[in-house]
Structure 1
Amino acid sequence: MPLILQSLSPLANADLDTLRTVAGASAFERRADNVATADDCAPLTPALREALDAACAPRGIDWAVVPGGRKLSDFRLVAMDMDSTLITIECIDEIADFCGLKAEVSAITEAAMRGEITDFNESLRRRVALLKGLDASVLDRVYDERLRLSPGAENMLQTIQALGLRTLLVSGGFVHFTDKLKPRLKLDFTRANTLEIVDGKLTGNVVGEIVNADVKARTVREVCEQIGADPSQAIVMGDGSNDLKMMAVAGLSVAFRAKPVVRAQASVAFNHVGLDGLLNLFPH
């Protein structure tokens, strides 16, 4: 299976020589200044995975071993988490900042994403309850003033959409943000949680079914069925432990700036390159 190396900066020849030895490959072929591939990497054992991690991390290089013979256009769906994946922030943490509770809320968020809090529903309810009484206009302020797309997001989306892939944004965050991102980015499907608002104020409650790990996985399967695709034709991108179940049903999973538990289980990890690193994994 091909080994792909990519970085934000040009790959140095000395680094390629080192990694060729680590991977047991005969040679790397440059596809761009910052992308190189080897078609004869040694079998990806746990020991080789550790060796590649150790050699690549200090050099700012991301590596991936992917199935040979596939094209990006062979996939049918790209499903993405929102907070800290498609966008750079955790929306709930930024909302909480407006009532002086960002540190408290973000500590719960981090523990949940690391997998230390196993009941996502309860962790979300705890965080949302702290927002009770906040003016709902804060949601627009977070979107307008703080929400930024992750590096490479627009390039990745425009390219896969041009290839005919469908897109799904499935989030344990909130519909206020997914509903704004859907038309902006021409996304096909979105799913997220609804904050209850009464008389212009957050009530501290979530309305309806909470989008947890199980619901995320179910949504990926349902969208695949809706578009006539097999889950093996889906690519799922995420960063937290509540993304693991939907990543497990996909044909390819990408851990983006992810927690260690997610990097360990994903097909591919992007620790340095942007979301458009996906475009370098397969011919189009």
Structure 2
Amino acid sequence: MIDKNFYLENMTAFDMMIESDRPAAEKVIFKVYCILQRDKYWLSNVATPEEITEEDTELLAETEAELTELDEQYNFRFANFHQLVMNELKAGQEFSVPETLEPTFEMEDDLTENEAYGEPESVDYDEEDFNETEAIEDEEWEEEDDDIHNDEYELNQIISCILTSAKQSLSIAQLQQYFPEAGEEFLSHEVLMPIITANVGEKTHEELVELLAENFELHDMEVDPDTLYHFVETAEICLEKEMMAFDIATDSLNSGMSAGRVLATVKALL
């Protein structure tokens, strides 16, 4: 579950960039910090005892110690960032839904002596008890449904948050300079979102250009291949922050972190 190579590769990249390109190095180190918080959460709240290894525990402890040293050396202020996440979580509590109740009744599996010998046991039907049981079942289903809707709401909020930030990094007006025929909805969902999600799908630069060209073609719009190629180069630079946020959000959700916690982290990142 915990990717040792991720930490090794990104910490090495940070060491190589910190003196020559601090902004890029900061993006790398904050991604490491976010994934570390995700992995610590998974280790403490999700992983079974069988899934927890001494190697993973030591890796996270060593990474946290190294980040603490780097924070003191370069003043990244991880504590302030963590507080921003906590503030976002606190602000989002009004949307939280109580955890689904555990079932308060269960079916009897054991046969009675009469049933074992083929003689059905008489059952007294109590309509009041039946209605009460049915009400409990309805309540549990409603709470499960609320949990699902709450998760869907927060997942939509994550996408909306990242897309809103992307429109600030690369405005619709700027996009329309490249593609004057395209409307805002098309540019948001058929141009910006594929770029933001490209890392998760492991698309190459050329594959991303091809995908966007297909999107324009499907909407009966012509686009110059060279213009599209140069646009994607520019967009990938302008939207680095949003691409990183989507990458972290996807990894965190897949690890079992709640959508609410992921939303808070994304808001703090952006």
TM-score under structure 1 length normalisation: 0.22
TM-score under structure 2 length normalisation: 0.23
Q: Comparing both structures, which one devotes a greater share of its residues to strand? A: 1
Q: Greater relative contact order (Cα 8 A, min sep 6): structure 1 or 2?
A: 2
Q: Comparing both structures, which one devotes a greater share of its residues to helix? A: 2
